[in-house]
Amino acid sequence: MKKYVIDLQVRSVEQLSPKHVLLKLTDDHPLPEMLPGQFVEVRVDHSPTTFLRRPISINFVDKANNELWLLVAMIGDGTRQLGCLHAGDVLNCVLPLGNTFTMPSARQERVLLVGGGVGMAPMLFMGGEMHRMGCEPTFLLGGRTHTDLLELDIFNRFGRVCVTTEDGSMGEKGFVTNHSVLNEHFDRICTCGPKPMMMAVARYAKQNNIDCEVSLENMMACGLGACLCCVEKTTEGNLCVCKEGPVFNVNRLLWQI
Amino acid sequence: MADLRVNIGRLALKNPVMTASGTFGYGLEFADFIPLDGLGGIIVKGTTLKPREGNDYPRMAETAQGMLNCVGLQNKGVDYFCSHIYPQIKDIDTNMIVNVSGSSPEDYAACAARIDALENIPAIELNISCPNVKDGGMAFGVTCGGAESVVKAVRECYHKTLIVKLSPNVTNIADIARACEAQGADSVSLINTLMGMAIDIERRRPLLSIGTGGLSGPCVKPVALRMVWQVAKAVKIPVVGLGGISSATDAIEFLMAGATAIEIGTANFLDPAITIKVRDGINLWLDAHGCRDIHEIIGCV
Tell me the pLDDT of chain A (257 aa) as tens digits. 999 999 999 999 999 999 999 999 999 999 999 999 999 999 999 999 999 999 999 999 999 999 999 999 999 999 999 999 999 999 999 999 999 999 999 999 999 999 999 999 999 999 999 999 999 999 999 999 999 999 999 999 999 999 999 999 999 999 999 999 999 999 999 999 999 999 999 999 999 999 999 999 999 999 999 999 999 999 999 999 999 999 999 999 999 98
As for the ipTM of the complex, it is 0.95
Asked if A181 and A191 count as a contact pair (C-beta separation under 8 A), the reply is no
Return the number of other C-beta atoms located less than 10 Å from residue B170's C-beta: 19
Residue B258's nearest CA partner among B282, B288, B281, B225 is: B225
pLDDT of residue A19: 95
| Beta strands in B52-152, from DSSP E residues, in sequence order | 60-63, 66-69, 95-100, 123-127
Q: Which residues of A touch B60 (CB under 8 A)?
A: 219-221, 227, 229-230
Q: Which residues of B touch A45 (CB under 8 A)?
A: none
| Percent of chain B clearing pLDDT 70 (strictly above) | 99
Handedness of CA A25, A30, A31, A35 (dihedral sign): positive
Asked if A122 and A97 count as a contact pair (C-beta separation under 8 A), the reply is no
Whether the model pTM is above 0.90: yes
Q: What separation in angstroms does the CA of B234 have from each of A224, B172, B252, B301?
A: 38, 11, 20, 14
Any idea what DSSP says for residue A82?
A: H
Cβ of B54 within 8 Å of Cβ of A228? The answer is yes
Asked if A249 and B64 count as a contact pair (C-beta separation under 8 A), the reply is no
Residue B60's nearest CA partner among B74, B48, B46, B50 is: B74
Handedness of CA A151, A155, A161, A162 (dihedral sign): negative
The question of whether B130 is a catalytic residue gets the answer yes
pLDDT digits (tens, 9 = 90+) for B63-90: 999 999 999 999 999 999 999 999 999 9
Q: Are strands B199-200 and B194-197 parallel, antiparallel or unpaired?
A: unpaired
Q: How many CB pairs under 8 A join A and B?
A: 91
Query: Model confidence at B136, in pLDDT bands (50, 70, 90)?
Result: low
Question: Rounded distance, CA A202 to CA A113, Å?
Answer: 12
- Which one of the listed residues B70, B111, B130, B180 is annotated catalytic? B130
Query: Model confidence at B131, in pLDDT bands (50, 70, 90)?
Result: confident
- Using CA coordinates, name the residue in chain B closest to A51: B65
- Nearest chain A Cα distance for residue B29, angstroms: 6
pLDDT at B135 over 90: no
Question: Rounded distance, CA A165 to CA A34, Å?
Answer: 31
Point out the residue among A218, A226, A238 whose CB comes nearest to the CB of B25: A226
A216 touches B: beta carbon within 8 Å: no
Q: Residue window 53-92, chain A: list those with CB within 8 Å of chain B.
A: 53
The set of residues, in sequence order, having a beta carbon less than 8 Å from that of B277 and lying 6+ positions away, is: B247, B248, B271
Interface test with A, best of B24, B26, B57 (most A CBs within 10 A): B57
Question: Rounded distance, CA B164 to CA B176, Å?
Answer: 10
Return the number of other C-beta atoms located less than 10 Å from residue B301's C-beta: 12
List the Cα angle A219/B20/B259 in 5-degree steps.
140
Residue A228's nearest CA partner among B229, B57, B244, B113 is: B57
Point out the residue among A51, A218, A226 whose CB comes nearest to the CB of B66: A51
Kind and range of the H or E run holding A10: strand A4-17
pLDDT of residue B133: 79
The residues that bridge with A10 in the sheet, in sequence order, are A25
Cβ of B58 within 8 Å of Cβ of A219? The answer is yes
Cβ of A231 within 8 Å of Cβ of B69? The answer is no
- Nearest chain A Cα distance for residue B269, angstroms: 4
Cβ of A224 within 8 Å of Cβ of B30? The answer is yes
Report, as an integer, the average pLDDT of B176-180: 98
Q: Which residues of B touch A224 (CB under 8 A)?
A: 25, 29-30, 272
Question: Rounded distance, CA B99 to CA B44, Å?
Answer: 6
- Nearest chain B Cα distance for residue A94, angstroms: 8
Tell me the residues of B at the A interface, defined by beta carbons under 8 Å apart. Answer: 22-25, 29-30, 32-33, 45, 53-54, 57-60, 62-67, 69, 71, 74, 217, 266, 268-273
- Using CA coordinates, name the residue in chain B closest to A93: B271
Point out the residue among B58, B63, B74 whose CB comes nearest to the CB of A228: B74
